[in-house]
Amino acid sequence: MAKLKVGILISGRGSNMAALIEAAKAADYPAEIAVVVSNVAAAQGLKIAQDAGIATAAFPHKGFPDRESFDRAVSAELEKHGVGLVALAGFMRIQSPWFPAHWKDRIINIHPSLLPAFPGLRVQQQAIDAGARISGCTVHFVTADLDAGPIIAQAAVPVLPDDTADTLAARILRQEHRLYPTVVRWFAEGRLSVAGSRVAVAGVPQGATLLFSPDP
């Protein structure tokens, strides 16, 4: 069967992108990375993608008169590569409502908190400042509302008493690198269905493990 073509949008380091590229190397992985697009020409992730032989494109957003014209140019690039799923991976640019509407139910994002807690920026520091005992990461469908689309899957990690934003970010990132390739696989296998704000995942055992922190 033809593999799903995934387009990844990045702004920087690209470690989640790299995790998707790595996962897609497996012969039985149902998706391939067709193109990586960045709004930052110097994004480290673009080099990683190029070294992996993947098509890349940079659209410095300053060259566009408004958000929607930038979004339409990115969209045209994705469509040129036959993309069927857009995966935002550290893409730090707010999109016009046009983009998620155009890619409705075919665009996902990974965010380093357990949404709806801690949307926005510096979210690991937000979790520490709030005294949260557990944080994690969320993969969700993207809608016009920032960090608020239907949640597909989450992974949790403890917040430890001596955590800094960096140590917590590193612990969460390890789970991001497991969760994102898993969700892209589910999408490619046609397991996800959206009903309002809820997402059903077909044929996957529901996690039933309780996570306590501190551990009683």
* Positions in the binding site for ligand GAR (CB under 6 A): 10, 12-16, 45, 89-90, 110-112, 173, 176
Q: How far is the CB of 203 from ligand GAR (least distance, A)?
A: 26
Q: DSSP class of residue 24?
A: T
Q: How far apart are the first and last CA of the chain?
A: 48
Active site residue 111: yes
Marked catalytic residue, from 61, 81, 102, 111: 111
Task: Single out the residue of 131, 91, 95, 83 nearest to residue 111, CA to CA.
Answer: 91
Question: Least CB distance from residue 149 to ligand GAR, whole Å?
Answer: 12
Residues with Cβ within 8 Å of residue 139, at least 6 apart in sequence: 108, 109, 110, 111, 151, 152, 153, 154, 179, 180, 183
Residue type, 64: F
Q: Which amino acid, residue 143?
A: T
Q: Which is nearer to ligand GAR, 164 or 193 (CB)?
A: 164
If the CB atoms of residues 4 and 172 are measured against ligand GAR, the closer one turns out to be 172
Nearer to ligand GAR, 110 or 188 (CB): 110
CB of 186 vs ligand GAR, minimal distance in Å: 18
Q: In angstroms, rounded to a whole number, what is the distance separating the alpha carbons of residues 36 and 16?
A: 12
Q: Which is nearer to ligand GAR, 6 or 89 (CB)?
A: 89
Minimum CB distance to ligand GAR smaller for 83 or for 89: 89
What would the two tokens of residue 212 be?
A: 């306590």
Q: Residue 30 CB, nearest distance to ligand GAR (Å)? A: 21
- Least distance (Å) between residue 162 CB and ligand GAR: 21
* Contact assessment for residue 88 and residue 108, using Cβ atoms and an 8 Å cutoff: yes
**202-207 contact pairs (CB < 8 A, 24+):** none
CA distances in angstroms from 22 to 15, 131, 134, listed in the order given = 10, 35, 28
Q: Which positions are catalytic?
A: 111
